[in-house]
Amino acid sequence: MIILGLSGALGHDPSAALLVDGEVVAAAEEERFIRDKHAKNHMPVESARYCLTAAGIEPSKVDVVAFPYAPISLAGRARWHFAKRYWYAPDRAADALFNGNRRFRRNRQRVLAAGHTLGIDWQRTEFVPVEHHLAHASSAYHLSGFDEKTAIMGVDGKGEYATTFFGYGENGRIHRIKEFYDPDSLSGVYGAITEYLGFEMLDGEYKVMGMAPFGDPDKYDLSRIIRAAGDGFEVDTEYVNTVGLRRYKEAGVGFYFSQKLIDWLGPRRQGDMADEPYIHYAASMQKLFEEWCLQLMETYLGDVLRETGKLAFAGGGALNVKLNQRIVALEHVDELFVQPASGDSGTSLGAATYVANERGERLSKMTHVFLGPRYTNAECLAALQAAEQPIDFRVLDDVAAEVADLLAAGHPVAWLQGRMELGPRARGGRSILGCPSVIGVADRINEQIKFRERWRPFCPSVLDRVAAEIIQTDHPAPFMTITFDVAEGWKDRIPEVVHEDGTARVQIVEEPHNPRYYALLQHLERLTGNAVVLNTSLNRRGEPIVCSPQDALDMFFGSDLEYLALEDYLVTKPPEEE
């Protein structure tokens, strides 16, 4: 069976994923192809076209198009809860009750139109909607590789109405235990504070997480914005998760928090500095988010976790690596699988896997994220020869060894090799690399190459055979979804990838999934004694991760990068004339 998953219902991060007989053969975000970060209000036409072309499948042969957004019955709690909690905005409340599936109908028409553009035969191809949080749950559970009963958690901004999901998977079936509904959203609160701290919601949450270790979480108490309600929680919408007239406005732009929050905490943060009191607000928000997630997880999944020890986690909140570190530290959690594309870009994959499982197909464990386009040396050469600015390039006899030499000498190197990664983080396919023992290389990459805030941390990719020594555990970590405490003996050896709080968001590299990257780490170990490389995504601030050789060259010319490893080619800039 050929199943094409398409996402984009919520207006951001559209993507496509293709399953053939239960195997994930291709998946990619639309932003990478149209070069518009988050691809807001686009449908995943180019990413779907890539998936079909990569698999050699005619659009008319697709059996099912799965979409992670579904109609919600008025007979359930979701729409009534929404209406009750948004009483202060009667137009919103009434719409939920009397026209509550309006967005689904609109999205269905958009999917059908995108299918026509692609060449989908809707007389033959079935359109199957999947509830948003079931898609998130499937993307984690069905690809976790866990055979035993598995606890499932989904923490997201919101889907149709649900924001937070607790359930379990057993024998391939997903069972719901509890859902929370908009506006009661932990990720929504985090997003609102993200806006207050001067970042863009659905983009800057990881910046808040990176800022938090510089602050004192106990200096300011933000707990009033989330209160206990029975065995769950309720958000105080007089402060955050606000709509309509309650929203704070600045220069005509409405935010997801209120004037009351400004009156309490002070003016919204501006600029790039990690300064007071905002670093303390970030730390307090991070602590509040962690504590509520852990409390709810214990309430609804504690018994399941003590029975099985396995947890599958997805939704935008699952990208909070500090929360994930605390989950892994729990005595009754033996293994945590976080979907590497946990945000909405992973729901195309989740919708497709959910439908595949429902129709009896066996799904394999997700072991890597290299599901995007690959470019040949011939395609790289064509891009190099067409470059409008002067460059020098040559073929490398041993790419891994020669790039390791450059890194050990202190040079950052852009690295485009093999298939592009799915998800928001680079893992050795589209990366900027540095030597983590070279003091100052992180500042240089932040300031001169990525043009981002200088306090932002970087991640280490490490060889599998030395990882346990560095992170002091043998817990799997192939996807950069968990932070770990770095062993004392390693902090001084790789200081450029150790964050303010002594942790690192590690990627453990295994040879079968990326042999050239693995070889690079081996060579770097011989040169420096450390089988570790600084790894950050190949993009500049505000841009999507690079996809093609032309994208890589555009970034190369638009930054202070001096070296670009483009498959077998090493690209450099000619020396400036005196």
Mean of pLDDT values over 56-80: 98
- Write down the pLDDT at residue 169: 98
DSSP 334-362: -EEEE-TT-SGGGHHHHHHHHHHHHTT--
Please state the length of the chain. Answer: 578
Report whether pLDDT(578) > 80.
Answer: no
> What pLDDT shows up at residue 306?
98
Neighbours of 19 (CB within 10 A): 27
pLDDT tens-digit series, residues 436-460: 999 999 999 999 999 998 889 999 9
Of the candidates 545, 511, 528, the one whose C-alpha atom is nearest the C-alpha of residue 39 is: 545
pLDDT at position 522: 98
Catalytic residue among 12, 42, 132, 280: 12
Identify whether 183 is preceded by a cis peptide bond (ω within 30 of 0). yes
Dist CA 122 CA 65 (whole Å): 10
Distance CA 326, CA 483 (A): 9
Catalytic residue at 513? no
User: What is d(CA 180, CA 161) in angstroms, rounded to the nearest whole number?
Assistant: 8
Asked if the model's pLDDT at residue 274 lies above 90, the reply is: no
Residue 495 in this model has a pLDDT that exceeds 60 = yes
Distance CA 348, CA 102 (A): 21
% pLDDT > 90, the chain:
98
Cβ atoms of 222 and 292 within 8 Å: the answer is no
Exposed/middle/buried for residue 40 (C-beta within 10 Å: 0-12, 13-18, 19+): middle
Among 532, 390, 537, which residue's Cα sits nearest to residue 462? Answer: 532
Tell me the average pLDDT across 467-480. 98
**Averaged pLDDT, 332-339:** 98
Q: Helix or strand or coil: residue 432?
A: strand
| Amino acid, res. 102 | R
Q: What three-state secondary structure class fits 569?
A: strand
Mean pLDDT of all residues belonging to the chain = 97
> What is the reported pLDDT for 455?
85
Q: What is the pLDDT of residue 113?
A: 98
For residue 61, the tally of other CB atoms under 10 A from its CB is 14
Quote the CA–CA distance of 302 and 308 in Å, as a whole number.
Answer: 10
Maximum Cα–Cα distance across the chain = 76
pLDDT tens-digit map of 219-242: 999 999 999 999 999 999 999 999
Q: Which residues contact 32 (CB under 8 A, 6 or more apart)?
A: 47, 372, 420, 544, 545, 546, 547
Q: Supply the DSSP symbol for 446.
A: I
Secondary structure in 3-state letters for 141-206: HCCCCCCCCEEEEEECCCCCCEEEEEEEEECCEEEEEEEEECCCCHHHHHHHHHHHCCCCCCCCHH
**Helices then strands, each counted (H, E), the chain:** 19, 24
Q: Give tens-digit pLDDT for 342-397.
A: 999 999 999 999 999 999 999 999 999 999 999 999 999 999 999 999 999 999 99
- 551, pLDDT greater than 80: yes
Please give the DSSP secondary-structure letter assigned to residue 448: I
278-308 helix and 186-196 helix, angle to the nearest 10 degrees: 160
In this prediction, residue 273 carries a pLDDT of: 86
Provide the pLDDT for residue 350.
98
156 neighbors 315 (Cβ within 8 angstroms): yes
Average pLDDT over residues 127-141: 98
DSSP letters for 204-267 = SHHHHHHHGGGS-TTTS--GGGEEEETTEEEE-TTTBS--GGGEEEETTEEEEEEHHHHHHH-S
Nearest-CA neighbor of 144 among 357, 302, 287, 428? 357
Residue pair 341/422 in contact (Cβ under 8 Å)? The answer is yes
Q: Quick check: 426 and 459 in contact, CB under 8 A?
A: no
Looking at residue 577, its pLDDT comes to 60
> Residue 416 pLDDT more than 80?
yes
Q: How far is CA 45 from CA 111, 119, 159, in A?
A: 10, 11, 21
Mean pLDDT of 198-224: 96
216: which residues sit within 8 A by CB, 6+ positions away?
Answer: 280, 283
- 482-489: which pairs have CB atoms within 8 A and are 24 or more residues apart? 482/321, 482/324, 482/325, 482/328, 482/336, 482/338, 482/506, 483/321, 483/322, 483/324, 483/325, 484/325
- One-letter identity of residue 8: G
Q: What is the secondary structure of 50-116 as a DSSP string?
A: HHHHHHT--GGG--EEEES-----TTSSHHHHHHHHTTTSHHHHHHHHHSTTHHHHHHHHHHHHHHH
The one-letter amino acid code at 434 reads: G
Decide which of 575 and 339 is more confident.
339
SS (H, E, C) 413-429: EEEECCCCECCCCCCCC
Mean pLDDT of 412-431: 98
Domains and CATH numbers, the chain: 2-143+340-358 (3.30.420.40), 186-337 (3.30.420.40), 377-572 (3.90.870.20)
**Exposure b/e, 288-317, CB count within 10 A at least 16 = b:** bbbebbeebbebbbeebbeebbbbbbbbbb
- Give the list of residues 6+ apart from residue 428 with CB closer than 8 angstroms, or none: 415, 417, 461, 507, 509, 514, 517, 535
Query: What is d(CA 414, CA 323) in angstroms, rounded to the nearest whole number?
Result: 30
Could you identify the residue written with the tokens 């081996």? 522
What is the per-residue pLDDT across 170-190, written as a single tens digit (0 to 9) for each?
Answer: 999 999 999 999 999 999 999
From 200, 192, 282, select the one nearest 242 (Cα to Cα).
192
Residue 548: pLDDT band (50, 70, 90) is very high
User: Rounded CA gap, 391 and 389, in Å?
Assistant: 6
> Is 303 in contact with 328 (CB distance < 8 Å)?
no
Do the beta carbons of residue 380 and residue 571 sit within 8 Å?
no
Q: Taking 70 as the threshold, does the pLDDT of residue 307 lie above it?
A: yes
What's the mean pLDDT in 62-76?
A: 98
Q: Can you tell me the mean pLDDT for 133-162?
A: 98
